[in-house]
Amino acid sequence: DSGVTQTPKHLITATGQRVTLRCSPRSGDLSVYWYQQSLDQGLQFLIQYYNGEERAKGNILERFSAQQFPDLHSELNLSSLELGDSALYFCASSGGQYQETQYFGPGTRLLVL
Amino acid sequence: AQTVTQSQPEMSVQEAETVTLSCTYDTSESDYYLFWYKQPPSRQMILVIRQEAYKQQNATENRFSVNFQKAAKSFSLKISDSQLGDAAMYFCAYRSKAGNQFYFGTGTSLTVIP
């Protein structure tokens, strides 16, 4: 158990809908990262937050947004969902802005029908 | 941007034998971190081992060790005495010391043959 929690574990929804994925980092970790992993694909970095502020942005679509709250949990919002958004979404956390090691949550499996 | 290349999409090893997974990366930085993560069928991402670029000594964690060749920008993972539980997808990752982003390779799928 990495100490990073993600909810829900599974999510099934329809095209055009909006969903919110939640992540709680390890106790004391300030950085949260979001990744997307499509079937048989590698990890695509989406976005990073550090202590509530956006720090780095990767290949995140405009339909997607994220934020980190004062209690350090983070949410990833996916809107106008398309079939191609079906994937495993990981959250990872690390201790500081430049802390070198990430610890991953179990992921949220999103299926868009 | 930095790139991480894993040239072996699939590898197999006999149980109890040794296997080496390859990873190369491209960077102009001198100080950075390298990682190997394991993703078993459960799809949980598990940290296997990490290496700090300024440390010449190769990292070791039990049966897992790395061969870090900084000049060649190579970071291979050696798994000794392979076990059935080692079967997984293995990802190599790079992180600069100054930056915030991690860069992952495309992964190597390891099969362990009983």
For residue B52, give the chain A residue with the closest CA: A100
The pLDDT tens digits of the residues spanning A14-72 come to 999 999 999 999 998 999 999 999 876 778 889 999 999 998 888 899 999 999 999 99
**Min Cα–Cα distance to chain A from B81, Å:** 24
For residue B107, give the chain A residue with the closest CA: A42
The shortest CB-CB distance from A42 to any of B46, B47, B107 is to B107
Rounded-to-integer distance, Cα A15 and Cα A19, Å: 11
Rounded-to-integer distance, Cα A21 and Cα A38, Å: 16
For the record, the structure tokens of B18 come out as 């040794």
Q: How far apart are the first and last CA of chain B?
A: 40
Q: Please list every residue in chain A whose beta carbon sits closer than 8 Å to the beta carbon of residue B105.
A: 42
A33–B102 C-beta distance less than 8 A? yes
- Given this model, what pLDDT does residue A98 score? 58
- Given this model, what pLDDT does residue B39 score? 94
Rounded-to-integer distance, Cα A82 and Cα A84, Å: 5
For the record, the structure tokens of A6 come out as 């993600």
The pLDDT tens digits of the residues spanning B45-104 come to 999 999 999 888 899 999 999 999 999 999 999 999 999 999 999 999 998 877 667 889
To 10 degrees, the CA torsion angle through A96, A98, A103, A105? 70
- 8 Å CB contact between B76 and B22: yes
